[in-house]
Amino acid sequence: MNLKLSQHFSVKEFFTSPYPEKKKIYREFLEKTGEKKCKQNIDNRHTIYLEHIRTYFNEGKYKIEGKERSIILTSGWRFIDAKNPFKSQHPLGRGVDWVVSGIEPLEVKLYILENWRQDKILQLIRGIEDFDGMTWIHTDVRNSNRLYWFSKHGGTVSNEFYKTLIKNELTTLRH
């Protein structure tokens, strides 16, 4: 079974891990528990903004004739981490790690940041991580009325600071 959550996302995709040994554990958990029950552990706001972002990166300057970019989930729902039981949004079904095929994660983060205030769908995102070496995007839909950026620079730095930082890092990557 492959229970769909939206046009391009299924329950199974939210029960994965980048680590092979954990991937097996999540697959077995999903099989034992069943997709319908597991669906209750996923916040549906994820599929709304992920579909929206997927559409954006398949149009305009990002469009590749005859090919569609996809969003690949690398980690969704997780078991509670005994060392940090209250830190992660993943066990609550409110955190997800992902990539847009063929697009730098920093470029996606910049798109979210530049459009968050005026885009009601992007406003579903309430947390983004930006740490050195991240080759993926972490977003969450924590219950909050603002956007949190978690990074080496702290979680409450201004949006303008992040726009400048990300633009500088993208410029460095492209050269």
DSSP 122: G
Q: Which two tokens stand for residue 123?
A: 């406003």
Residues 117-145 have a mean pLDDT of 91
Residues 100-110 have a mean pLDDT of 92
The strand pair at 137-140 and 95-100 is best described as: antiparallel
Residues 130-159 have a mean pLDDT of 78
Please report the pLDDT score of residue 138 as a whole number. Answer: 94
Give the residue with greater pLDDT, 8 vs 166: 8
Please report the pLDDT score of residue 85 as a whole number. Answer: 62
Domains of the chain: 11-174 (3.30.1380)
Judge contact between 75 and 18, C-beta under 8 A: yes
Give the residue with greater pLDDT, 80 vs 33: 33
Residue 158 has pLDDT above 60, yes or no: no
Residue 11 has pLDDT above 90, yes or no: yes
Please report the pLDDT score of residue 157 as a whole number. Answer: 47
Residues 60-85 have a mean pLDDT of 86
Residues 90-118 have a mean pLDDT of 92
Please report the pLDDT score of residue 162 as a whole number. Answer: 64
Least confident among 69-73, 99-103, 112-116, 147-151: 147-151
CA distances from 22 to 78, 116, 124, 159 (A): 10, 33, 28, 35
Residue 43 has pLDDT above 70, yes or no: yes
Distance, in Å, from the CA atom of 122 to the CA atom of 90, rounded to the nearest integer, reads 19
